Structure 1
């Protein structure tokens, strides 16, 4: 994130001041406790780790929300496409010409001889 490593104490100060944006920019998500170095107490390290976990959960929730929103929009568009009337035909008959002729003859016979 940053060129020079930021001290864990500075990260802790930012987190405790509730300036998470600055803490993230300073390298909060890259923080790994180093047991050999006593820069922070275990309780202070835990504060940073919990802040990392809260941010990761929040970012994951935001991503799930965005995916859900996109999925719902896609489904709504598909539903609207199914509801839309079909495009107007180019003044072609609905039936092929041979079928239309057969239907016309059948209608003529049915209408022409009522005493069948």
Structure 2
């Protein structure tokens, strides 16, 4: 589209030629060409009709949202892949039940230590066990 070619709304301002070319591409449903012409960066022509300007702005907003959604999708997939790798590494570590000593003999690996209970919880558990033992004696 030449700089002197009018927009689909009839505007022929030369300073809006980039916006006119983008609107023409959008009208032809050629999003790739509109992007190549600068859909995401070009300023709307101030002399075009509100409908023409709205078409340009709406297409820009829609494409920006689509690009943001694609970025979120890719980031999510990267997070999921990272978590899957971490889980696989944990499972691989759990499958190694034996450990080598200095002399080369294989010994069973120590079980991972359980986290200790807070003192109040441990005391409550001890009381509950004692109460249950009293009931079972009778």
Question: 1:6, 1:26 within 8 Å by CA — same for their partners in 2?
Answer: no
Which structure's residues are more often strand, by fraction? 2
CA distance in 2, matches of 1:19, 1:50: 15
Work out which of the residue numbers 4, 8, 19 in structure 2 matches 1:8.
19
The TM-score normalised by the length of structure 1 is: 0.66
Structure 1 residues without counterparts, runs of 5 or longer: 96-116
**Match in the other structure for 1:79:** 87
CA RMSD of aligned residues (A): 2.2
Structure with the bigger RCO (C-alpha within 8 Å, sep 6+) is: 1
Q: In 2, Cα distance between the equivalents of 1:88 and 1:19?
A: 63
Structure 1 stretches of 4+ with a deviation exceeding 6 A read none
Cα deviation, 1:87-108, whole Å, max 9, x if unaligned, reads: 864424549xxxxxxxxxxxxx
Which whole-Å CA distance do the structure 1 matches of 2:50 and 2:84 have between them? 50
Q: Provide structure 2 residue ranges, at least 5 long, that are not aligned to the other structure.
A: 1-15, 109-138
What is residue 27 of structure 1 aligned with on the other side?
Answer: 38
Within-5 A mapping of 1:1-116: 6-35=17-46, 38=47, 40-84=48-92, 85-86=95-96, 89-90=99-100, 91-92=104-105, 94=107
Q: CA deviation digits over 1:33-56, x for unaligned, max 9?
A: 243xx1x21110010000000000
